[in-house]
Amino acid sequence: MSDGDTLVSADETFALGFFSPGTSKNRYVGIWYNKDPTKAIVWVANREKPLTHSSGVLKVNSTGILVLLDSNNTLIWSSNTTRSAQHPVAKLLNSGNFVVQDDSNSNSDFLWQSFDYPGNTILPGQKFGRNLTTGLNWLITSWKSSDDPSQGSFSYQFDIDGYPQFVLREGAAKRFRFGSWNGIQFSGAPQLKNDSTFRFIMISNEEEVYYVYWLADSSVHQRLQVTSDGFSNRMSWSDGSSGWGTVSHLPVDDCDYYGKCGAYASCDTNSFPMCNCLDGFVQNTTDPSSGCVRRTSLSCNSSDGFVKFSGLKLPDTEGTFFNRSMSLEDCRILCLNNCSCMAYAALDVSKGPNGCLLWFGNLIDMKVLSASDDDIYTRMAGKDVEAIEQSRSQKSKKRKRKVIIAVSCVLSFGILILCLAYIIYRWKMNQKGKINEESESGAINSHHHDENDLELPLFDMCTITSATSNFSSDNILGTGGFGSVYKGVLEDGQEVAVKRLSKNSSQGHQEFKNEVLHVAKLQHRNLVRLLGCCIQAGERMLVYEFMRNKSLDYFIFDSDRGKLLGWPKRFHIINGIARGLLYLHQDSRHRMVHRDLKAGNVLLDDELNPRISDFGLARRFVGNENEANTKLIVGTYGYLSPEYIVDGLYSTKSDVYSFGVSVLEIVSGKRNRGFIHIDHNFNLLGHAWTLFTEGKCLELVDALIKDSVDLPEVLRSIHVGLLCVQRNPEDRPSMSYVLMMLSSEWALPQPKKPGFFIERDVVGENSSSSKNELLLSVNGLTVTQVCPR
């Protein structure tokens, strides 16, 4: 590439070429947003050694090393790749990652990638942290100025001296701490937990410790950047907009600056003064700038105790000790028996307090937070522990008395209002003669949900009968175990789908209540929308938006219609289903497990966007509940997870298993249940696993779409699908991690054997098993289970 040439990513999001920053005339090789009017730079190759003219050339040599040469063939910059390749190729990926790989082996790792050498920017899917094996430090450093991209004064990186934490430094001095990871969020940035614009995850093991994020909306572009004046910014830009906007920047306020209040003090911008000593500590009169000191010296024996502090950013973790497997009680004992230990906290709060984090020096850099999942237990002299607990108990009693008085007043007033409202309600009901209609809605009211609670329109029977031509058989869209679905046209011309509950189905009544009570408030682009219901004349009907293109199985399992869904559209559908499940599992007000995800329950709208439907078997999780148990196994065989069929346990990971099966079906165009192959008797999961282990994944791809596949995307989809159907639910990724894996280009973990790796006896005529039973092999465990549906 010569100066003036550009290399553009396949989706045209990023471009690589030569540029001059700001008012500078120096030339650099860099990557920028191609469609962005400002051409924001995200990576610079020769940031420390610019070209002084426009005659530079970028090459990849025969061994796979990138070199930047000037007009005299003098080396300006090199990628210094240590491994060689037979056929090296340099590519700019859709993620903004500039890579070199061996074209003779498309499945090989990258020989070199720009993502391993960030400048002042971290992009979605790019690792931000440390490789503990190779020593790679994925940090970002500021530019000196807008005209000079060479390394400036500020750096932002993972410090690994103690429990890993993000630290923004000016030179060697700490300026800001993001806080340590607690399994859910960073202790110093609880606002990220509820940020719906992007997703993030923290990976920490013996080989790597890093943070990576990705975006919820592909039309929005975001980047993390450390500026030349020392701020860490998250910038956002949408397709078609005129420029970038700042989503957030750190430090946020004065309390974010490192060590603002000194030792054993917390900082709160909403109080005056901002700095206040923790309970049991007093201002250091000798050196007020150093913070606080203990009111009573420690005895370093069993008389010492611990005081719990909540709602704080955890102190600086430099020099701390941590153990991931230790219980919190063992952590307390370990700290108490070590005179140097000043405090302890749980390392991971995602599944209750687990792990152990110990501090051995002064507790520095704490900030009061409005929302925090972390508690820290600070060592105190026994007499101070008793005094603090007594003081807190008295304050708690005073607060309770105030609350009781306030609640009593509110309840008294509320009861008066309810009585008046009830009298008025009864009068109106009698006036309008709707006593019968009231009894018709009893099924819903018995669950303490009236019409207003549902926020769902009620259609009368005449409207539904007219819309469906008196439930004409010509209008039937499909029939299931709980009744039939009819196409209808309302008076205003709106097309709808009417699900009519069968009067003979005992399970259908429960399904109806589930869909009304749970689905009414679900709003997401990848969930089918419930428009209303009808509960008159002994009927139970649900009115949904009409999906003209029917369901996903109508296309992918048909030899003619399957051609209409090429690979780009199938990959779009896979991502859409994943986003819908993520909403159900994590982002909706009522966290839910679908329990019957399959191609037949994924509808397609006019633009072939996927909409998850049929929530009759869905179950809601309350609070911190993560799994539940049932004796009634319901759902569709071929999609049910091993732990659900064998033990009746279901969780969000049960849906992940069903999603993995669906992904492999979408890729292959074959059903998991009933799959037949001439070379073996495995089901689709066993077949996919066998091909994966033999490096023959392309043989799994539906022959109808092979001409349209994007090789990296289809291989990654198969890989993710196999990760989702692993036997152990703890090995399966969450849906947030699934979305990240589908959209990123970094290496994925190796999947373990699928949960149902079945080799069946195809001689069904000689089997003595009843036709309504199914024999399943769960990696050695055999279970006979009556088929649900």
Q: What CATH number has the domain bearing residue 351?
A: 3.50.4.10
- 499 carries a ligand binding annotation: yes
Same-domain status, 213 and 278: no
Mean pLDDT of the region 74-79 = 95
Report how many domains make up the chain. 5
Whether 132 maps to a domain, the answer reads: yes
- Per-residue CA distances from 280 to 264, 305, 365, 451, 729 (Å): 10, 12, 17, 54, 45
- At 85, the pLDDT band (50, 70, 90 cuts) reads confident
Predicted confidence at residue 786, as pLDDT, reads 36
Q: 483 with 402, same domain?
A: no
Average pLDDT, the chain: 85
Residue 779 pLDDT exceeds 50:
no
Q: Does 250 fall in a domain?
A: no
Query: Are 79 and 96 members of one domain?
Result: yes
Considering the domain architecture, whether residues 55 and 168 belong to the same structural domain is answered as yes
Report yes or no on 408 lying in a domain: yes
| Residue that terminates a domain, selected from 525, 546, 567 | 546
**Is residue 28 domain-shared with residue 76, that is, in the same domain?**
yes
574 belongs to a structural domain: yes
What pLDDT is attached to residue 702? Answer: 95
Q: Three-state DSSP class for 693?
A: helix
- Provide the whole-model pTM: 0.60
- Provide the percentage of residues in the chain whose pLDDT is more than 90: 52
User: What pLDDT, on the 0 to 100 scale, is given for residue 626?
Assistant: 66
How does pLDDT run across 119-158, given as a tens digit for each residue? 999 999 999 999 999 999 999 999 999 999 999 999 999 9
Residues 47, 92 share a domain: yes
Cα 243 to the chain's mean position, in Å?
Answer: 27
- The secondary structure of residue 291, as a DSSP letter, is B
Q: What is the pLDDT of residue 319?
A: 95
**pLDDT tens column, 228-270:** 998 888 888 877 666 788 888 888 889 999 999 999 999 998 8
pLDDT at 627: 72
Same-domain status, 610 and 716: yes
**pLDDT tens sequence across 541-582:** 889 899 989 999 999 999 899 999 999 999 999 999 999 999
Interatomic CA distance for residues 333 and 766, integer angstroms: 64
* Pair 224, 273 in one domain: no
Tokens 């520095």 locate to 364
**Domain around 466:** 434-546
Q: 136 and 34 in one domain?
A: yes
pLDDT in tens, 309-339: 999 999 999 999 999 899 999 999 999 999 9
If residue 478 lies in a helix (H) or strand (E), which one and from where to where?
Answer: strand 476-480
Statement to judge: residues 296 and 350 lie in one domain: yes
Contacts of residue 315, defined as CB under 8 A and 6 or more positions apart, other chains included, come to: 343, 359, 363, 364, 365, 366, 376
Catalytic positions are: 596
In a domain, 249, yes or no: no
Confidence of residue 774 (pLDDT cuts 50, 70, 90): very low
Question: CATH number, domain at 558?
Answer: 1.10.510.10
**Position 366 pLDDT exceeds 60:** yes
251 located within any domain = no
Helix (H) / strand (E) element for 516: namely helix 506-519
CATH number at residue 530: 3.30.200.20
Residue 32: which residues within 8 A CB-CB, separation 6 or more?
14, 15, 19, 39, 40, 41, 42
Average pLDDT over residues 393-419: 80
Task: Assess whether 574 and 519 both reside in one domain.
Answer: no
Report long-range pairs for 59-65 (Cβ below 8 Å, ≥24 apart): 59/1, 60/88, 60/89, 60/90, 60/100, 61/88, 62/88, 63/88, 64/88, 64/100, 64/102, 64/111, 64/112, 65/112
* Position 519 in a domain: yes
Do residues 417 and 374 both lie within one domain? Answer: no
| Residue finishing a domain among 400, 432, 464 | 432
Higher pLDDT, 414 or 60: 60
Please tell me whether residue 469 adopts helix, strand or coil conformation: coil
The pLDDT score that the predictor gives to residue 253 is 87
Q: Is residue 194 part of a domain?
A: yes
For the ranges 387-401, 648-662, 761-775, the one whose mean pLDDT is highest: 648-662
Res 194: pLDDT = 61
